[in-house]
Structures are given as structure tokens and as C-alpha cells.
Amino acid sequence: NGRIDFSKLEAKWVAKWKQQSPDGSLHPTKHLDNHDTSKKTFYSLSMFPYPSGVLHMGHLRVYTISDVVARFKRLRGYKVIHPMGWDAFGLPAENAAIERGIDPSEWTETNIAKMKSQMSNFLADFDWDREVNTSSPEYYKWTQKIFLMLFEKGLAYRQEAEINWDPVDMTVLANEQVDSEGKSWRSGAIVEKKLLRQWFIGITKYANELNRDLETLDGWPEKVKLMQRNWIGESHGAEISFPIEGYSNVEVFTSRPDTLFSVQFLALALNHPIVTELAKQDGELAKFINGTYELNSKAGYKLPIKASIPIDVNNNKSEKYDIPIYAAPYVIGSYGHGAVMGCPGHDDRDFEFWKLHEPTKQAIQVVAPTKQDVTNPYTEKAGTLQDSSVLPTGIADLGNYRGKSVKEAMKLIVKNLEGHSLGKPTTNYRIRDWLISRQRYWGAPIPIIHCDDCGPVAVPDEQLPVVLPPTEGKHFGKGNPLANIDSFVNCECPSCGKPSKRETDTMDTFMDSSWYFFRYLDPNNQKLPIGKEASKDMPVDLYIGGVEHAILHLLYSRFISKFLNDYGLWNGEQCKSEPFSKLITQGMVHGKTFSDPDNGRFLKPDELDYSDPANPVVKSMGKTPLVTYEKMSKSKYNGADPGECIAKYGADATRAHMLFSAPISDVLNWNEEQISGIDRWLNRVVQLGETIKELPVHDGAKQGTLSQHELELNGKVQLAEFNHNELTLYNDVSGYVSRIAKSIEIDFSFNTIISDMMKMSNAIGDAVKSDSEYSTDLIVDSYKKLLICMSSVTPATAEEGWEIINSSNGSEVESIFYQSYPECQPIESTTQQYNIFINGKMRGVLVSTKDLITQPHSQIIDEISKEINVTEFIQGPVKKVITKPWMISIVS
Ligand code: ANZ
Ligand code: ZN
């Protein structure tokens, strides 16, 4: 019998499954779940793709995992939610459509159709009845509604902001989309700074919760939590108020109030109100403000005003106005109060600044470990406060503060400032509000109408969605595309009826993806983004996706989930309104890359001679190429196509190979040659079924010491009488069954489940070879367990084996997916195998009860004599019998 054609075998099962399920899904029993309210739900979610039209290996990796977990949980008796959808808005679709002269929606639909069929080719069992497409009006209606909920609560607002402007794509770019050289990630154009009125979402209002609740996310990788924490950037410190001669006080945020007495200057951001004020009368300053500065510039403009350190060392209000004030681009306008108390003695940036502007005045150190070193800032947040010889403010000594530790001094100084209402403890966050305005066509229109009298007004619910006008393949011209369409722009104010203008910005696509996992649960709700009842299936139990989304997507999703909880759309009390209980970030898939050993040039496939597939040589020089694994890319000719692989080896083998090749978080080096090992294994498993089917019904070799166990075997509860080998097989199989479950449900260790399944089939195969020793019931039972274990990973192969083993006279066999995952514990063995030594030589093995070694020696020897001719090896009387749980040694 030749090798199995898995493509054919899979096609057979796909047809059968579809025929058995009323919704035409790839899972014959799934439709039954949804009606069983007694079942607990399990929500297995993988990050939805951008519909580019091609599924790549990275997709295959994520979806294989979510599918294996989903199928497994279904076997475990859960009602499983395993949806799929499309993150379909965004620039690539818009550009592709313009190039082709079609509407982006058309391009998107075509791509979705392609990718959907690729997904079913690898047997991914998605809930297509939950499908969402973020670019469809049915979906973005609710994205718009959520925007309006935020607007209602003051969490969506418009503000002038300096933005990164891509002059080629004519759009705003996020900071992450500008590379280190200041160029656009997409167009490569030099990015310009521009002031524009933009819509923001007030995520900073949730900064505290977003930071605090990271603590509850036990199921998240530490690395991701750390990235989120750094992004939010919680910083504890104080707000200190510096009196200015002739002006109102300047507030600064500092994380080091203990360094107050080392302050030598104040620095204000270029957009600080005082700076703006002074620039009105000072042309030089106005020019300075409008200059361009590189990132680390320490430029400064000395202002004609002075500040005073708010209190002196005796805690009196101070009125010594001798601290110079600068306007300086290194101060960030949007952080803290846009003002810094400059401590050159303790802060590197302040030190650099001071060196440039006041080279003769030394840096001042107040905090020091032991001795002061005024040539370098002492930046550690440790040490004690000490007098400085050169205090600028004329303070000769630190008075009450001398000798205090940093920690004490911070508390004291803030307390004393508080007494004069000149300061207080505060917490700052580095995270900025979320800029969602995009001057592009292919996104959800922001549902706002601008009225001269009423200002920005929400589009009323009954007018939602604000639909994108079809492009009919036309280019809408330069600038913001929607702004060029009069019929879109001109409208009436919903509140006063006056002719008004519609907002023409569309939303950042991160807005679309910040709530899609809610919509999956209630995709047809006509009244709300999600209904209360349906929302009970939140949170997501398992979320799988790329680490590239570790910061923004996850943070925005967490924020919107918390907001929707506060708005009353769902109740997240049980989970702190955190949407994702468990998070897995999968590693990249790298491709096998060949290069010229002499110059490192990447080689095209046709430059290689594959006569010996395991050792290809470079055609032109007959040499062995350099083989490495690299990120897949066209320029490296190392892309592997999931479709081709599936066509060649079948989906089952591709899925199993994908899981087997690397632990989930690691980079996976895709080496297709190794798939043949999986292919051979799957062939063996099916053949094993055929062999077992032909075994004569046999009760096993009931010899030696037997043990009796009441258990379910091959579907029947029976009193099994096991010989030692049978017990070992039963226990091995039970061990694998529970190990595989633990690997999937607890450790998320998918590579080891494949090796466990292989070992399990080897154990059964070995038993079959010595069939007379094992009862047929036990072998059939073991084989069925193997198939159920495999059914989550290799559904078609498992189903085929199941049909073989269960069919009799061509009768229809119920699908394996009606089975439950086996519940079986290893049973404590009462027997033991002993190696028997007589006068130092091993003479054979004995299987007997475990308590044999506690018996009198004469009885032990009697027992051994049943198996081994003891008298033949013994000379004279027995002197000694040594027993261990694994051996018995007789010395005569
Ligand atoms: C005095 C000082 C002394 C500071 C010292 C640091 C060390 P984190 O910890 O990241 O929150 N700062 C405050 N507002 C700023 C702004 N708008 N632009 C640039 N820098 C600003 O940083 C807080 C520190 O950053 C603050 O504490 C302040 O400098 C500076 F030995 O105040 B510090
Ligand atoms: Zn109006």
C-alpha cells in the first residue's frame, strides 16, 4: 500500500464535515454547542489580519494555534468562540485601489475572498457567522458610535497639534511611522512638522488604571507588561511652584524634589504661556521659538525675567529672584507643565544645557554619596543631602536638611512647600492622548458636524453611519480626499439647522481594532455595539498575535474596554475590565536563505542545483551555499508560501509541522524538508488503524502476575485483567493524554504535544507488533485515545483513523468530533518488574507483586523459580538475598 494522498483525504473530510453541519462549517458538531447554555464558554481569539490578499506563514502560525486550542476546548466540553474578521481600513488598500482605478472596498472584498479560502484550506475552523469587516458600514457605524460615546464624556476632543506630516502621502503619521532619519516608513519622504487641528482621544485620563491593572494580568508575558508600563511611563514626584518677579508662578514637575536647593535655572518649553507672551514684544525670541532643533538640542534663549526658589532652607517663603529663566527646546511642551527646574548637579540634560550657557558657573551638588564632585552630575536617587560650597542662591548651608537621606528630604521638602501652597505630591504619565485624525479616505469618517454657531456637534444616532461616498475608482485629488467632495462636506447642523460642514478626517485604524473582539460576540446587534447578554462571554480567554502589537493595539483595546465598562456597555467587574486574560505573542517565521559563500549575495532558487535535495549546490560554481534563516522577504528569495506547502503535504502535516518546529514564542525556522518526518508519522498512524482493525479479538496473555482494574476501555466499563505490559501501555497512554492536555491548556507548549503524540503512537505500534501479549480492547482503546488527542491538530487524519477503527461492514461512523477528551489517570501498579541476579549474573526478569520483596526469602525464591530455573545457577545453600524495588540478587 502506497503513501496516502493527504490532499485527497482532506478534501473527503472537508466535504463530509460541511455536509454534516447546517452552517457549512468545517466542524460537524459546532452548531450543537451554541444551543447548550449549560456549557462554559471559551473565547479563543487570534489577531485579525489586514486583508492584503495573501496569507503568509506568520498568519498560519497564529491561526493554527488558536484553531488547535479551539478544537481542543470543544473536546473538553466548552462552548467555543473562535471568530475571524478583517482589519480592512488603511492606507495600503487606498493606495492599491488608486493604482488600479477601483474602489478600495472592491479591492478589499476580493482579498477577503482569497484569504478566506486559504484559511479553510488549512482547515481552520472559524466561526464565520461572527465575521466582521471593519470597513463595512455595518461595522463602522458602531466604531462611530463609540467615538460619539467618548465625545459625550469629553474623551474625544479637537486640538491644534504639531504633527508629523508626510508630504507625499499627504497624511499625518504616528511617531512610530517616522524612522530614525526622520523619513516616512511608507513613502520615504522627509517628514515635516505641521500644526493642524486634530481629533484626540483622552486615553491619559485612564493612564492610572491602565498602569495599575497590568498587575492583574497574570496570563500576560512579563515582557509585554513591561513595554506597556514603560509606554504609560508613570512617574511619581511633585509639582513645585516657582515665584516669578512680575508674573504669576511657574509650575514645574519634578521627580526629584530633594534637589530643590541645587536649582540653577528654570527652562520653559517653547510653547509655554510665558514664552508666548514675551515673544509678542521680542522678535528675537519669536524667531527662536520658530527655529528647527534636532532631538537633543541644548539651545536656549535667556528670558528677561527671574525666578526664586520657593522656600529657603529654613522653610521660609523666599523672595530672592536670582534664578535665570530660559526658553529651551529640550523641554517637552506636553509633559508635566512644560517647565523644568534645572539641576545641573544632578541631571545630565540640565548639566549639558548649563555647560553650554553658563560655562563658568559650576554645577551644584546637594545630594551626594560622600564627597561632592562638581565636574559631573550625580544622578543617582540615593545618598544624603550635604552642604555645597558654591550654592548659587547664596545659601551657605542646608540647615535642617543637612544629612537627610534622599527619601526623607523629598518628603520634608514637599511637606514644607505644601505648607506654603507652593507644591504638592503628584504623579505624571508619559503617555500622550491618542491622535486619531487621519487625512485619508479609507477609514471610518469621524461623525461630527462643524457649525459656526454650535461648534462641533455629534451626528445624531439615526444618521449613523456616516457613510464613505463611493470613489468609483476615481482619485479625489490632493489633500484630504473627503474634503474635496462637496456633497459629503455640506450638511445641516443637527442642533440648529444652519448650513454646516461635515468633519472630513477619518479615524486611525487602531480605533477599529480596539473593540472588534466585542462585536464578534454580537455581530448582528442593530441597537448597540454589543448587547449586555452577549457581553457575558468577555473577557477573551486566549489572545494570540504578533509582538509588534505589544504596545499600541493592546493598550488601545484595554482602554476602550475599560471605557465601555464605565459607559455601561458591559460588566467587566470580574476581570478589572481587562479584555484579554491570557496573551501569547508568537515568534516570527523565518525562511531558509541561501547565499553565495564568497560575497554573501542572496541566491535565487534557480541558481541552485537541487539534485541532492538535502545538499543543494550553487550551479555556477559547484560550491555549497551558505544557509541561514532570515526574516522572509522578496529580496532574499526565502519566502515560503503556505498554500504551496498545503497543496504538497496537506493541511494536517503543515499544521503539525508548524507546531512541532519551535516553541511558540521563539522564532520558527521554516524548513520544509523536515515536514517529511511528520508526513511519515501521519501515514503510520493511518496504517496502524488498518493493522489494528485486522487484529484477532484477543484477551491478552493472561500469565504471570495479573492485576484487576475496573475501568472504561474501548467504550465499555469493564473489569480489565492486566498483565504487566498491558498495565505499562495503559499507563503510558494515560500519561500522554494528560500531558498533552496540560501542554495545551496550561503551558501552551505546542511543540511538545506533537512529540508526545509521536511517542504515543510508537508505544501503541510496539504493542501491536507483539499482539499476543496485549488485549485487543486495550490496543483499540489506546489507538482511539491517540486519535482524539490528534484531532485538534490533524483533524482529517484523526477522522480517517476513527472511521477505519470504528466502521463495520461499511456502516456510517459518527464523527470523532462527537467525542470528549479522554479522562484517564494512570493506575497505580501492584506489580513490578525485577531483574534477577544469581551470584552476580543477571539470569532473567520476573514480574511479580510489589510486596514480593517484603516476603520471606524462601517465598521469594519459590516465586522466582516459577520463571527461572534457579537451582541450575545456585551452588550450595543460599547465603544472602538482596532486594531492591527493581532487582533481586541471590548469593549462594
Ligand atoms: C529636577 C530634577 C533633578 C529632575 C534631577 C530629574 C533629576 P520622568 O522621571 O521621566 O517623569 N521634566 C519635567 N518636565 C519636563 C518636560 N516638560 N520636558 C522635559 N523634561 C521635563 O522625568 C521627570 C523629570 O524630567 C523631572 O524631574 C524634570 O527634571 C524633567 F536630579 O526635575 B527633574
Ligand atoms: Zn448649529
Residue 277 reports pLDDT greater than 90: yes
Pick from 249, 432, 408, 412: nearest CA to 341: 249
Question: Residue 676: its pLDDT value, please?
Answer: 92
Is the domain of 624 the same as that of 476? Answer: no
Measured CA to CA, the distance from residue 536 to residue 570 in angstroms comes to 8
Pick from 705, 696, 709: nearest CA to 780: 696
CB of residue 428 inside a 6 A radius of ligand 1: yes
Is the domain of 248 the same as that of 350? Answer: yes
How many structural domains is the chain composed of?
A: 5
Question: Residue 370: its pLDDT value, please?
Answer: 63
Average pLDDT over residues 647-660: 95
CB of residue 243 inside a 6 A radius of ligand 1: no
Contacts (Cβ under 8 Å, ≥6 apart) of 528 = 142, 145, 522, 569
Q: Which three cell numbers stand for residue 342?
A: 534645572
Measured CA to CA, the distance from residue 180 to residue 293 in angstroms comes to 15
Residue 647 reports pLDDT greater than 70: yes
Q: Which of 429, 461, 478 is the last residue of a domain?
A: 429
| pLDDT tens digit sequence for 127-152 | 999 999 999 999 999 999 999 999 99
Is the domain of 609 the same as that of 729? Answer: no
Average pLDDT over residues 173-180: 77
Residue 393 reports pLDDT greater than 80: no
Average pLDDT over residues 489-503: 97
Measured CA to CA, the distance from residue 513 to residue 88 in angstroms comes to 10
In Å, what is the CA distance from 283 to each residue of 183, 291, 299? Answer: 32, 12, 17
Question: Residue 396: its pLDDT value, please?
Answer: 60
Q: Which of 239, 274, 340 to mutate to test the pocket of ligand 1 (most atoms within 8 A of CB)?
A: 340
Atom of ligand 1 nearest to the CA of 335: 17
Question: Residue 505: its pLDDT value, please?
Answer: 95
Give me the sheet containing 887-891, strands edge to edge.
841-849, 831-838, 887-891, 880-884
Q: How far is the CA of 327 from the centre of ligand 1 (A)?
A: 15
Ligand nearest to the CA of 449: 2
CB-neighbour burial class of residue 765 (10 A; exposed 0-12, middle 13-18, buried 19+): middle
SS3 544: strand
Residue 890 reports pLDDT greater than 80: yes
Measured CA to CA, the distance from residue 538 to residue 557 in angstroms comes to 13
Question: Residue 388: its pLDDT value, please?
Answer: 73
Measured CA to CA, the distance from residue 801 to residue 686 in angstroms comes to 5
Q: How far is the CA of 131 from the centre of ligand 2 (A)?
A: 38
Is the domain of 333 the same as that of 422? Answer: yes
373 pLDDT tier (thresholds 50, 70, 90): low
Q: Which long-range contacts (CB under 8 A, 24 or more apart) does 286-294 make?
A: 288/327, 289/327, 291/329, 292/193, 293/329
Residue 175 reports pLDDT greater than 90: no
Measured CA to CA, the distance from residue 493 to residue 193 in angstroms comes to 33
C-alpha dihedral sign at 301, 306, 309, 310: negative
CB of residue 448 inside a 6 A radius of ligand 1: no
Q: How far is the CA of 501 from the centre of ligand 2 (A)?
A: 10
Residue 654 reports pLDDT greater than 60: yes
Question: Residue 391: its pLDDT value, please?
Answer: 53
Question: DSSP letter at 849?
Answer: E
187 pLDDT tier (thresholds 50, 70, 90): confident
**CATH at 241:** 3.90.740.10
Residue 14, CB half-sphere, CA atoms under 13 Å: how many?
Answer: 17
Q: Which three cell numbers stand for residue 727?
A: 498495565
Question: Packing angle between helix 724-742 and helix 750-769, nearest 10 degrees?
Answer: 160
CB of residue 253 inside a 6 A radius of ligand 1: yes
Is the domain of 406 the same as that of 263? Answer: yes
| pLDDT tens digit sequence for 397-411 | 788 898 999 999 999
Q: How far is the CA of 125 from the centre of ligand 2 (A)?
A: 51
Is the domain of 261 the same as that of 283? Answer: yes
Atom of ligand 1 nearest to the CA of 334: 17
Ligand nearest to the CA of 493: 2
Is the domain of 294 the same as that of 423? Answer: yes
Q: How far is the CA of 522 from the centre of ligand 2 (A)?
A: 35
Span of 12-26, 401-415, 464-478, 595-609 with lowest mean pLDDT: 464-478
Residue 517 reports pLDDT greater than 80: yes
Give the residues across from 219 on adjacent strands. Answer: 582
Question: Residue 406: its pLDDT value, please?
Answer: 94
Q: Which of 335, 352, 353 to mutate to test the pocket of ligand 1 (most atoms within 8 A of CB)?
A: 335
Atom of ligand 1 nearest to the CA of 342: 1
Decide if the complex's ipTM is over 0.95: yes
Q: Which of 395, 429, 463 is the last residue of a domain?
A: 429
Is the domain of 264 the same as that of 390? Answer: yes
Atom of ligand 1 nearest to the CA of 259: 3
DSSP string, 589-655: EEEEEEE-TTT-PBPPGGGEE-SSTTS-EETTT-PPPEEEEEE--GGGT----HHHHHHHH-HHHHH
Q: How far is the CA of 858 from the centre of ligand 1 (A)?
A: 86
Q: Which three cell numbers stand for residue 272?
A: 509655554
Share above pLDDT 70 across residues of the chain, in percent, rounded to a whole number: 98
CB of residue 271 inside a 6 A radius of ligand 1: no
Q: How far is the CA of 338 from the centre of ligand 1 (A)?
A: 10
Q: Which of 405, 429, 453 is the last residue of a domain?
A: 429
Average pLDDT over residues 323-337: 93
Is the domain of 881 the same as that of 838? Answer: yes
Is the domain of 653 the same as that of 697? Answer: no
Which residues of 142-300 form beta strands (DSSP E)? 156-166, 171-173, 192-201, 234-244, 247-254, 265-268
Question: Residue 567: its pLDDT value, please?
Answer: 98
Range of the domain at 638: 589-670
